[in-house]
Structure 1
Amino acid sequence: MKTFIKLLLLVVGFSVNAQNSISGTITDNNNNPLEEVQIYAQELHKGTTTKEGGSYVLRNIPKGKIKITFSYLGYKTVYKIIDFNKENIVLDIQLQETPFNMDEVVISAPFNKLQSENVMKIESISAKSILKTGGTSLVEGITNIPGVSQISTGASIGKPVIRGLSGNRVLVYTQGIRLENQQFGGEHGLGINDAGISNIEVIKGPASLLYGSDALGGVLYLIPEKFAAENSKELNFSHRFFGNTLGTNTSVGAKLSSESWKFLARGTYADHVDYKIPTDERVTNNRFNEKDFKTGIAYSKNKFTSEIRYNFNRSLLGLPEEGIAEQSTSRTLLEPYQAIDNHIISSHNHFFLGDSKIDLDLGYTFNDRQEFEEHHDDHEDEDEHDHEHEEEEHEEAALRMKLKTFSYNAKYHFPKMGNVEILSGVQGLHQTNTNFGEEILIPDATINDFGVFTTAYYSWNKNTIQAGIRYDNRNIDTQQHEVAHEDEIHVFEAIDKTFNSFTSSLGFKTSLTDNLVARINIATGFRAPTLAELSSNGVHHGTNRFEKGNSNLTNEKNTQFDLSLEYKTEHFELFANGFYNLLNDYIFISPTGEVEDGEPVYSYLQEDAKLYGGEFGFHLHPHPLDWLHLESSFETVIGEQDNGDYLPLIPANSLKNTLRTEFDIKKWMQQGYASLTLKSTFSQNNIGPFETYSPSYNLVNFGFGGDINLSNLKFSTSLSVNNLLDTKYVDHLSRLKSDEILNQGRNIILGINFNI
């Protein structure tokens, strides 16, 4: 770390004093000036907006080739790579109207291109869009992306599922670094609040080339909110009320920016009671609350930019063990419950070296997970003094694990050679797991990762090809433990294992016609076995089973083929995405028929498997009804083992149809919207050996909102009604399905947001 700080000081010290800038005017296709257009340089963490008359200026830009985007709602995004070799550049931009989503720069891809230029099909959804859906959690919000679903534990915990793969097969990135939070558990959530998140990008398919192990199934990339525009300040207040859980989510944020320095901070508090099912009963102990704090500081000067962010999240999550029992709107958690602290510190840096660039990301995460179980007093004969002394002591967690992870990611962008761009990098982490609870599920351990990769991007005419190769090494070293529990001795044998893998990818994008684009990708991925899969040996109370690891497990490897077709005209958009995923040595947990410590024993096995399916849909924006949108999407995935059994936790096929309108009401309501959605989930007959059939169901959701202008008072508001008809249903991926507990009933969500 000291060497890193010295390097930063050296770069800053040798920076020249000359400051480049770009300025100009932005208009629509009728030459009318556009106000509040966003101009942003992602790699500089700098941006501004156009003033009255459409003028803008962005200062303090380093020499070299810098990517700048010009975006405005309802208009096509303009993306420019500008070679700054003189102090001032004047650039006027004319934006063209479009009824479809803005074409945004993709941050999770290696070359940060616009989605329309990308070889991989990467989905993106904004935090504002998630708020419109009324999702209780971040993961619930992204399930509106075709091909993405969630494994849920009531309303409080959600784990992302991408095309049938979940858990450690889906890598989560936040603040530019990988999130490590004991994600092996089926009831372990993300531990990240949606406040302070601007966009979520989803890579559907193996991304091990870019991110290493655990990106075998895909990547969920969370992009933090931007800093304020240069020489400006912002104050934001937002509040949401959830009728079903009597829940609240309140967030306050502040931003302050000069030309070189930027600062932001945001505090959020969420609190919910047990959720109500359509029978007007509440699911006992699914209550939860969450405290979240995010802050960041950024500096940019000539040849160097740096951004440091910190996120603290404390979640208290009740676990519904008794189903429909005591009916209460209490916010006090009952046992069993989880108490989880997440600390995430990241440093995101760019060094501009003329035509080349170095990106350096450093991260530290500290996850403190405590799980409290229900205790019964079996020592009635102890004396009164000891009993009183016991009550004075703070209750200890049955399971407590502290996971500390230091990660690094360095990338070098070679000077562009004609139409060829090349990127090379190294990534890795050092991780320790330490136990402090009464019981042990996984042993104390040290994990080290190292990976090196190269990828290249070449474009010509209307064609693009991208290819890359990577090598990874992971070492897992554990300590031997012997733990006595209920007259049983649980032995954790020490292991010292190393896993290696080569991965590669090849992608091709071409414009078959002016309106039809095709993408073809083939990629390999891998996932080293987790610490839990190799060495767990104890009761996992969150899943109500005794889990035994298998030290003989090998790498999971996969090869996925993707074909994506997109057809776009001015008023119609059609897409078809198909995939075929071959999985070698797929790891899964299976019951052994034994019982230990009063719980059924499950152990880890491996079997070759395959998944296949896709997402298909259209978006109709008929002329001259410019206010009307009709959107439809269908998604399907089938997972099979080579022995003929179906894979578990595969989402059912679903069809979603949305009728949406956009409108303005004079000057007092702008960017108004109203939507009505029918989501039809089909029955799931393709079930794993230990799953049960799930019947079909239909959900109706409604949304309404917009930006309100009342004199000098400006704010945005939203109304969402999810499960409008209060339909009784159980989702196939609900962890409460085995207890026949219904999913959430009608939920009315009111939201308000002030920007000052």
Structure 2
Amino acid sequence: MKHFVLYITWLLLLPVSLATAQTGSIRGQVLAEGRPLELATVVLPGTSFGTATDAQGRYELHGIPAGVHDVVFSSLGFQGKRQRLAVAEGQTTEVSARLSPSPAALQEVVVTGVSRATELRKSPVPVAVLSRREVNLNGSNNVIDAAVKGVPGLSAVTTGPNISKPFIRGLGYNRVLTLYNGLRQEGQQWGDEHGIEIDQYDIDRIEVVKGPASLIYGSDAVAGVINMLPRLPNGPVGQLQGDVLTEYQTNNNLIGTSLGLNYNKAGWQYAGRGSYRLAQAYRNALEGRVYGTAFRELNLTAMAGLEKTWGSLQLYATLYDNLQEIPDGSRDSLSRRFTRQVLESGLDIIKHRPIVPTAELATYRINPLHQHIQHYRLLSRTRLRVGSGELHALLGAQQNIRREYNHPTAPAQPGLAVALNTYNYDVRYAAPTWHGLEATLGLNGMYQLNRNRDATDFPIPDYSLFDVGGYAFLKRSFGKLDLSGGLRYDTRLLHWSDFAVGLNPATGFSQQVPAVSGLEPQFPAFRATYRGASASVGATYNLSDRLLLRANVARGYRAPNITEVGSNGLDPGAHIVYLGNRTFGPEFSLQEDLGLSAYLPDAELSASVFNNNINNYIYQARLNDANGQPVVLVPGNATYQYQQGRAQLYGFEATVNLHPKAWPALAFNNSLAYVTGLNRETSLLQENGADARYLPFIPPLRTRSEVRLSKQQPWGSLRQPYVRAVLDYNAPQNRFYAVDNTETRTEGYALVGLGLGTGLASGPEKREWLQFFLQLDNAFNTTYQSHLNRLKYFEYYAASANGRAGIYNQGRNLSLKITLSF
């Protein structure tokens, strides 16, 4: 494997040594309704070249590789335009564009979940795109929460303010594939308290595919894909540019800073960013500060790239380092003040725990009981022109190290310590268009090694995993009809040897011991091969220039993850003992999507319905004994065993965005999302009745309405100033998995948000040098619990003095974010 990776890397780097500076320039002007259009976007799809027009509507792109290119002009409120041109070596090509008013960006190009760059209107599967500006508007503690606010059908299971696991249409964990610039994120994401290890300040764009994307990515994409795309150097040639960002949030006194630099010349590109965030425990009106929710996070990113006539090459290196406290919800039974653990589990008595002093709640110091997560990533992306076609290759290497410190008498001894090494490969060939037919062939997969280190708890064994899959994808247009579809086949091999655990006499804790020690292995040797076929077929029909009908049917495949088949121990961060099942087979889903979109002069309307049937659906359930009492294998920790059956999820999403031409500054945006998850396993329903009717972690009906006043054209020195008000409503969740009180009913709630912001421009070129965003969330300091908040179930008593159980969500929060560009 090592020699294979080295060979492929050498092969992909070979063009660099052969490159020459065969470049030219493009310049021109963008007009709209006879006037220059400022801040219009000019990009070359498939490359990192792009810019914005100045106050005179003019733009200029330097260092463009000689050859034929597509250039796309776009601006909010105008219909985009695409034009093909030839760039000659050492020459400047003039190309201008006139954009027509339009209520929506009908031609926006996306690349997530499809075989090649595809326009949004031609994609039969629902795809949502969130720009960096929209992420900044939706002020939040992490990038997933920001995306949840902007994408209907996207939700998140949370464990405090800095841990959010994305769910798409009621499905999450390993069913949602999270990507960083196309590289699948592999970081022990099976756990409830394992977040997304990505620098949110470096993300330029988020693309979300809602529905099975297994055809392109294989296992772990049955619910959809979230691709986080970083910023690329695209400023003036030969000039060092950058930005400084600072952020402050009042609720948990979060302080965030980030510095980014970029430079490009003669096709060479360089960028770097360093970000640091720290926060105290968050607070709400009922509980004050919530002990165990502070964090510190460091991110470093470096990038080098090359754009030439033969294609492009980009190299990335990232580092993520996070210290994250572990809440457990223990309290004084009368005062309901938070308490802390000071003795080991055998001697620890909840009602005797000391109360946490107030001074230790409002501090940036990290508690002795915490997680330490480190994630390292190396990534290369190569695009080679092969005749009229293109060859894309991605190689990645990741290491994720997770330590969870849960021993109060030995704070330096991790309870959990695992290191996951993953090597990813993805090769895709986009063949030349033949009689209108676009064909793409691809091969991708990964090789993975997990090793337990010096720890005392072992929820999963050391294991190795090899995954490979190949696919073919076809797309063709017939006038108003766009058809696409393809087939894929995957194979995954999962293996581990005997893994034994014994007592360490020196410390009194458990430790890993050699398999030949004579002890019965905690994880007996296991080997399994999982195979599955995926398929997709979809169509988009243009009923008119402004009315689109979409339909798609997809079969998804997901192999069981390591905890589902192999777990047998305590995860100290989750306070759960997980028990797996070695007999599990792969999940297979069949989802149907139907959507209608209307782009009217004064409004943009869309509605979509979906139905998803899953065979061998895997879920968690509390383990009870023969008397119906909860099984307790480790005192103070719940015991869950994975189950498998049949499930059905169905629902709909709708958006109504009004922007009357008579009042161009006004936008009234509304969205609605609803999903129901049903257990279809007969034996489970017969045994538990109505308590087992629904699936766990299904979000309730949610609506979001926003009124925004903004000015797209410059207003003196101000750029895109806006004020906004948002109402986010979550209905009561009465449909929950009630077996053994795994879940309980959740009350509905409504949250009000207010915001304003603007950019500032100056100088002869009227260049924007400052962006300012002010956002007030939960303006009325509402006390609430989200149904997908895991802290809701962090409760040690059957009844509490104030009648409230579990931990509540964050209260009122004012966030300020300022970016200075230079």
TM-score of Structure 1 vs Structure 2, range by shorter chain:
over 0.9
Q: Which residue of 1 aligns with 2:269?
A: 262
Q: Which residue of 1 aligns with 2:533?
A: 502
| CA shift for structure 1 position 179 | 0.5
Residue 543 (1) aligns with residue 598 (2) = no
Q: Match for 1:403 among 410, 420, 424? A: 420
Correspondences of 1:173-192 after superposition (within 5 Å): 173-192=179-198
Q: Which residue of 2 aligns with 1:634?
A: 672
1:395-441 per-position Cα deviation (integer Å, ceiling 9, x unaligned) = 12111100000101000111111321100010011110000022211
Q: Match for 1:92 among 90, 96, 99? A: 96
SS of 2:289's equivalent?
coil
* TM-score, length-scaled by structure 1: 0.94
Question: Contact 1:47 / 1:230 at 8 angstroms: preserved in 2?
Answer: no
1:432-486 per-position Cα deviation (integer Å, ceiling 9, x unaligned) = 0000022211111110010100001101211100010001000001121111367
| CA shift for structure 1 position 173 | 0.6
Change (3 A) 1:723 1:275: same
1:584-640 per-position Cα deviation (integer Å, ceiling 9, x unaligned) = 000012222222132333211101000000111201112311111111111100000
Q: Which residue of 2 aligns with 1:308?
A: 315
| CA shift for structure 1 position 26 | 2.2
Separation in 2 of the partners of 1:118 and 1:82? 25
Residue 275 (1) aligns with residue 282 (2) = yes
Separation in 2 of the partners of 1:94 and 1:310? 40
Q: Which residue of 1 aligns with 2:702?
A: 654
| CA shift for structure 1 position 51 | 5.3
- Where do 5+ consecutive residues of structure 1 fail to align? 378-393
Q: Which residue of 1 aligns with 2:37?
A: 34
Question: Contact 2:329 / 2:791 at 8 angstroms: preserved in 1?
Answer: no
Report the count of equivalent residues: 739
Change (3 A) 1:668 1:311: same
1:469-510 per-position Cα deviation (integer Å, ceiling 9, x unaligned) = 001000001121111367997610111111011110001000
| CA shift for structure 1 position 120 | 2.1
Q: Which residue of 1 aligns with 2:733?
A: 684
| CA shift for structure 1 position 156 | 1.8
Question: Which shifted more, 47-56 or 304-313?
Answer: 47-56
1:207-234 per-position Cα deviation (integer Å, ceiling 9, x unaligned) = 0001000001111111111213350331
Separation in 2 of the partners of 1:102 and 1:141? 24
Q: Which residue of 2 aligns with 1:134?
A: 139
Separation in 2 of the partners of 1:374 and 1:296? 39
Question: Contact 2:80 / 2:105 at 8 angstroms: preserved in 1?
Answer: no
1:143-183 per-position Cα deviation (integer Å, ceiling 9, x unaligned) = 12100011011212111010000100000110221100000
Residue 721 (1) aligns with residue 724 (2) = no
Residue 143 (1) aligns with residue 120 (2) = no
Residue 107 (1) aligns with residue 162 (2) = no
Question: Contact 1:589 / 1:602 at 8 angstroms: preserved in 2?
Answer: yes
Q: Which residue of 2 aligns with 1:613?
A: 651
Q: Which residue of 2 aligns with 1:675?
A: 724
SS of 1:286's equivalent?
coil
Change (3 A) 1:718 1:61: closer
Letter in structure 1 aligned against 2:452: N
| CA shift for structure 1 position 76 | 2.8
| CA shift for structure 1 position 733 | 0.4
CA RMSD of aligned residues (A): 2.2
Change (3 A) 1:90 1:462: farther
- Where do 5+ consecutive residues of structure 2 fail to align? 331-336, 339-355, 504-508, 511-518, 625-630, 686-692, 796-805
Question: Which shifted more, 642-651 or 264-273?
Answer: 642-651
Letter in structure 1 aligned against 2:494: I
The percent of aligned pairs where both chains have the same amino acid is 29
Separation in 1 of the partners of 2:373 and 2:17? 42
Q: Which residue of 1 aligns with 2:800?
A: none
Change (3 A) 1:671 1:60: closer
Q: Match for 2:388 among 347, 355, 375? A: 355
Separation in 1 of the partners of 2:21 and 2:281? 59
Change (3 A) 1:563 1:84: farther
Q: Match for 2:362 among 329, 344, 357? A: 329
Q: Which residue of 2 aligns with 1:745?
A: 811
Change (3 A) 1:197 1:102: farther
Question: Contact 1:49 / 1:229 at 8 angstroms: preserved in 2?
Answer: no
Letter in structure 2 aligned against 1:343: Y
Change (3 A) 1:9 1:206: closer
* TM-score, length-scaled by structure 2: 0.86
SS of 1:737's equivalent?
helix
Correspondences of 1:88-487 after superposition (within 5 Å): 89-100=93-104, 103-108=107-112, 109-144=114-149, 145-231=151-237, 232-279=239-286, 281-323=288-330, 324-325=337-338, 326=356, 327=358, 328-376=361-409, 395-436=412-453, 437-484=455-502
Separation in 2 of the partners of 1:745 and 1:44? 43
Separation in 2 of the partners of 1:448 and 1:116? 36
Q: Which residue of 1 aligns with 2:749?
A: 697
| CA shift for structure 1 position 554 | 0.4
Question: Contact 1:60 / 1:302 at 8 angstroms: preserved in 2?
Answer: no
Change (3 A) 1:698 1:48: closer
| CA shift for structure 1 position 659 | 1.0
Question: Contact 2:440 / 2:473 at 8 angstroms: preserved in 1?
Answer: yes
Question: Contact 2:235 / 2:241 at 8 angstroms: preserved in 1?
Answer: no
Question: Contact 1:46 / 1:230 at 8 angstroms: preserved in 2?
Answer: no
Letter in structure 2 aligned against 1:535: G
Separation in 2 of the partners of 1:652 and 1:148? 12
Separation in 2 of the partners of 1:398 and 1:681? 37
Question: Which shifted more, 81-90 or 690-699?
Answer: 81-90
Separation in 2 of the partners of 1:568 and 1:494? 58
Change (3 A) 1:694 1:36: closer
SS of 1:191's equivalent?
coil
Question: Which shifted more, 274-283 or 719-728?
Answer: 274-283
Question: Contact 2:125 / 2:210 at 8 angstroms: preserved in 1?
Answer: no
Question: Contact 2:415 / 2:572 at 8 angstroms: preserved in 1?
Answer: no
Question: Contact 1:63 / 1:303 at 8 angstroms: preserved in 2?
Answer: no
Separation in 1 of the partners of 2:236 and 2:554? 41
Separation in 2 of the partners of 1:540 and 1:489? 21
Separation in 1 of the partners of 2:106 and 2:258? 27
